[in-house]
């Protein structure tokens, strides 16, 4: 509807209908038809911004009928906080400027916010004088929503990629050129993200792995499914990092991309290597007592057959017993290590008289010790909450180490006392001691002070520490090479 006569500003209406230069050459009917049938809103307003024309599409987009809105100021259509921008636009139009495809937020009659693209133009009369302004408005709310959703999903995707724990590379499947990479990728390769982008993906790997990498790459592209494989990454400084790659194809509209997720498996490799080393050592360690046992028992069988039981010597039976004891200990250590690793070392804590437990262990250990074991006077009734078997195991480990690493004729002292709300236990020897450099490491799995190591797996102190930690206690060492060592640990009082 167009109402050129009525303006709320009280201005005299424009002399001609506000169709600009169209009017002289076209019939008013055609203009009205175009005006009403346009899919875009067409809004006409006077020089002060009062709405004088409003087509059907405007009614659909803004929800106002022509009669409701004609006579009102165009700023009615702007959200409250944006109305102050309208005078600036009107000023530009009065200067004869056109404003193309301005994207703005507007409000519908029902209060809903919509996004529109507005093209504003001044309307001139025959003599070129600006008499009104036109606004052609396209509702782009849906387009905006889609763009917004895309931006949102792009943001989420970036967030996922940036904060992923693994290195992520995205490469063009046709050219093999890296088109995107995250911070972890930069960390893994020792290169900047900008440096990675544009690089050929094969450059990520050492040349000797080119063939293997090529196979992974081809199977992704040809078969289009994810692949998991382990290869090495060549860092900028020339070092190799073992990685596990899981790669897959992302098919887009225009391009096929390959996404490679690289997991640094250096730590896992280290543990695997350690395990391999351990297995080799374990096999060797277990073989020694088994060989002795076999030899001694074969000799016994031979003697028994020839001379009967008279010739069998007690020391030889004792040797068998000792070797069996050692074998059992080694096997138990391996079992405990496995239990600890899988979190299956369960405790059965109970109230225990520590003095009594210490006495029993010392009595047993004295039988196999060439050193004198001395129990310092323990204050009467030291009650602790412990798994008796496991604490006995801790004491046996510490005392056997003290025996193993000190000379015949020296003394091993064991003591316990209350301290700081806990019970402190210690085992002191006068043996070879441990240098500062090794003191922090001896509680690690498989660690042995090599040059001085006697047979064992380097598991004893690791298991000991885990047992003490499970009792919510602490364990530490004070030692001086050549003078001896004291191992301390704490337990919970009853
Ligand atoms: P192992 O089976 O080798 O004895 P442990 O875990 O019990 O393993 O000990 C780790 C290392 O700590 C040993 O190899 C040894 O070098 C050192 N160690 C342990 N206890 C003592 C000690 N009382 N005196 C000197 N060195 C010790």
Q: Which helix (H) or strand (E) holds 115?
A: strand 113-124
Cα-flanking dihedrals φ and ψ of residue 306, to 5°?
A: -80, -50
Tokens standing for residue 281: 């050592």
Q: Is the CB of 482 under 6 A from ligand 1?
A: no
Pick the atom of ligand 1 nearest to 461's CA. Answer: 6
For residues 361 and 433, give the distance between their C-alpha atoms in angstroms, rounded to a whole number.
23
- Protein residue with least CA distance to atom 25, ligand 1: 433
The count of other CB atoms within 10 Å of the CB of residue 58 is 26
Residue of 436, 374, 437, 369 lying closest to 405 (CA atoms): 369
Cβ-based neighbours of 26, under 8 Å, separated by 6 or more: 19
pLDDT per residue as tens digits for the range 209-237:
878 777 777 776 666 666 667 789 999 99
pLDDT per residue as tens digits for the range 340-354:
877 778 889 999 999
pLDDT per residue as tens digits for the range 159-186:
988 889 999 999 998 888 999 999 999 9
For residues 408 and 410, give the distance between their C-alpha atoms in angstroms, rounded to a whole number.
6
Q: Is the CB of 461 under 6 A from ligand 1?
A: yes
Overall average pLDDT of the 103-115 stretch: 93
**Is 414 or 210 the better-scoring residue by pLDDT?**
414
Q: Is the CB of 90 under 6 A from ligand 1?
A: no
Mutate to test the pocket of ligand 1, among 373, 449, 483, 489 (most ligand atoms within 8 A of CB): 449
**Is 332 or 239 the better-scoring residue by pLDDT?**
239
Residue of 95, 102, 140, 139 lying closest to 120 (CA atoms): 102
> What percent of the chain lies above the pLDDT cut of 90?
52
DSSP 203: G
Q: Is the CB of 185 under 6 A from ligand 1?
A: no
Supply angle C-alpha 406, 409, 410, rounded to 5: 50
Q: Is the CB of 393 under 6 A from ligand 1?
A: no
Overall average pLDDT of the 43-56 stretch: 93
CA of 410 to the centre of ligand 1 (A): 18
The count of other CB atoms within 10 Å of the CB of residue 33 is 12
The count of other CB atoms within 10 Å of the CB of residue 207 is 10
Tell whether the torsion through CA atoms of 352, 355, 356 and 357 is positive or negative: positive
Residue of 467, 248, 209 lying closest to 337 (CA atoms): 467
Residue of 285, 296, 294 lying closest to 459 (CA atoms): 285
C-alpha to C-alpha distances, 224 to 11, 163, 258, nearest whole angstrom: 71, 26, 9
Burial class (CB in 10 A: 0-12, 13-18, 19+), 319: middle
- Protein residue with least CA distance to atom 16, ligand 1: 449
For residues 77 and 155, give the distance between their C-alpha atoms in angstroms, rounded to a whole number.
32
Q: Is the CB of 371 under 6 A from ligand 1?
A: no
Tell whether the torsion through CA atoms of 5, 7, 9 and 15 is positive or negative: negative
Overall average pLDDT of the 177-197 stretch: 96
Q: Is the CB of 449 under 6 A from ligand 1?
A: yes
For residues 25 and 122, give the distance between their C-alpha atoms in angstroms, rounded to a whole number.
19
Overall average pLDDT of the 132-142 stretch: 93
For residues 65 and 117, give the distance between their C-alpha atoms in angstroms, rounded to a whole number.
20
Pick the atom of ligand 1 nearest to 449's CA. Answer: 16
Mutate to test the pocket of ligand 1, among 371, 399, 401, 483 (most ligand atoms within 8 A of CB): 401
The whole-number pLDDT of residue 251 equals 79
CA of 345 to the centre of ligand 1 (A): 22
Mean pLDDT of the chain: 86
Tell whether the torsion through CA atoms of 283, 285, 291 and 294 is positive or negative: negative
User: What is the helix, strand, coil percentage profile of the chain, to 5?
Assistant: 45, 25, 30
Q: Are 185 and 263 in contact (CB under 8 A)?
A: no
Q: Is the CB of 448 under 6 A from ligand 1?
A: yes
- 385 pLDDT higher than 90: yes
CA of 402 to the centre of ligand 1 (A): 8
Q: How confident is the model at residue 332 (pLDDT cuts 50, 70, 90)?
A: confident
Burial class (CB in 10 A: 0-12, 13-18, 19+), 466: buried
CA 250 to chain centre: 23
Count of CA atoms in the C-beta half-sphere (13 A) of 130: 20
In DSSP terms, 351 is beta-bridged to: 385
List, in sequence order, the alpha helices (H) in 352-446: 354-366, 388-404, 436-439
Q: Considering only 162-166, 256-260, 278-282, 382-386, which range has the smallest mean pLDDT?
A: 278-282
Q: Strands 256-264, 167-172: parallel, antiparallel or unpaired by DSSP?
A: antiparallel
For residues 74 and 57, give the distance between their C-alpha atoms in angstroms, rounded to a whole number.
16
Q: Is the CB of 484 under 6 A from ligand 1?
A: no
Q: Are 18 and 53 in contact (CB under 8 A)?
A: yes
pLDDT per residue as tens digits for the range 424-442:
999 999 999 999 999 989 9
Q: Maximum distance among all alpha carbons in the chain?
A: 143
The whole-number pLDDT of residue 1 equals 59
Q: Is the CB of 262 under 6 A from ligand 1?
A: no
Q: Which helix (H) or strand (E) holds 315?
A: helix 314-341
CA of 123 to the centre of ligand 1 (A): 97
CA of 381 to the centre of ligand 1 (A): 31
Mutate to test the pocket of ligand 1, among 277, 458, 476, 477 (most ligand atoms within 8 A of CB): 458
The whole-number pLDDT of residue 6 equals 44
For residues 18 and 71, give the distance between their C-alpha atoms in angstroms, rounded to a whole number.
15
Q: Strands 411-419, 372-375: parallel, antiparallel or unpaired by DSSP?
A: parallel
CA of 337 to the centre of ligand 1 (A): 16
Tokens standing for residue 7: 């303006």
Q: Is the CB of 458 under 6 A from ligand 1?
A: yes
Mutate to test the pocket of ligand 1, among 438, 448, 454, 465 (most ligand atoms within 8 A of CB): 448
- Highest mean pLDDT, choosing among 248-262, 385-399, 451-465: 385-399
CA of 448 to the centre of ligand 1 (A): 6
């Amino acid at each position: 509807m167009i109402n050129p006569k009525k303006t709320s500003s009280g201005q005299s209406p424009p002399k001609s209908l506000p169709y600009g230069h169209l009017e002289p050459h076209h019939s008013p009917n055609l203009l009205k038809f175009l005006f009403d049938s346009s899919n875009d809103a067409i809004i006409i307003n006077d020089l002060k911004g009062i709405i004088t024309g409003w087509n059907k599409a405007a009614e659909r987009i803004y929800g106002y009928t022509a009669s409701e809105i004609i006579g009102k100021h165009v700023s009615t259509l702007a959200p409250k906080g944006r109305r102050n921008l309208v005078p600036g636009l009107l000023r530009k139009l009065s200067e004869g400027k056109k404003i193309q495809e301005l994207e703005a937020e507007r409000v519908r009659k029902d209060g809903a916010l919509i996004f529109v693209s507005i093209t504003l133009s001044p309307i001139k009369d025959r003599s070129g004088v600006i008499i009104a302004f036109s606004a052609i408005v396209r509702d782009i709310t849906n387009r905006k929503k889609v763009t917004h959703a895309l931006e949102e999903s792009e943001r989420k995707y970036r967030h996922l990629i940036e904060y992923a724990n693994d290195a992520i590379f995205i490469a063009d499947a046709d050219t093999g050129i890296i088109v995107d990479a995250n911070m972890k990728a930069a960390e893994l390769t020792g290169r900047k993200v900008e440096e990675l982008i544009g690089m050929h993906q094969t450059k990520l790997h050492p040349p000797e792995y080119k063939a293997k990498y090529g196979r992974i790459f081809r199977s992704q592209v040809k078969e289009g499914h994810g692949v998991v494989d382990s290869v090495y990454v060549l860092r900028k400084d020339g070092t190799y990092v073992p990685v596990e790659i899981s790669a897959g194809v992302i098919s887009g509209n225009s391009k096929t991309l390959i996404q490679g997720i690289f997991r640094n498996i250096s730590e896992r490799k280290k543990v695997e290597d350690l395990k391999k080393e351990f297995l080799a050592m374990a096999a060797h360690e277990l073989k020694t007592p088994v060989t002795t046992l076999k030899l001694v028992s074969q000799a016994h069988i031979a003697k028994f057959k020839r001379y009967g039981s008279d010739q069998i010597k007690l020391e030889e039976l004792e040797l068998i017993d000792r070797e069996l004891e050692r074998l059992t200990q080694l096997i138990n250590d391996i079992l405990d290590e496995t239990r600890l690793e899988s979190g299956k070392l369960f405790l059965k804590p109970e109230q225990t008289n520590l003095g009594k437990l210490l006495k029993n262990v010392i009595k047993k250990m004295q039988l196999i010790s060439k050193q004198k074991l001395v129990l310092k006077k323990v204050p009467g009734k030291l009650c602790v909450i412990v798994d008796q078997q496991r604490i006995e195991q801790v004491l046996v480990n510490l005392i056997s180490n003290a025996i193993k690493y000190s000379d015949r004729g020296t003394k091993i002292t064991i003591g316990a006392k209350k301290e700081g709300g806990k019970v402190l236990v210690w085992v002191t020897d006068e043996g070879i001691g441990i240098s500062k450099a090794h003191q922090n490491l001896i509680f690690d799995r498989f660690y042995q002070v090599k040059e001085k190591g006697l047979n064992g797996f380097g598991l004893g102190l690791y298991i000991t520490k885990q047992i003490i930690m499970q009792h919510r206690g602490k364990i530490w060492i004070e030692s001086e090479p050549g003078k001896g060592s004291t191992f301390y640990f704490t337990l919970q009082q009853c």
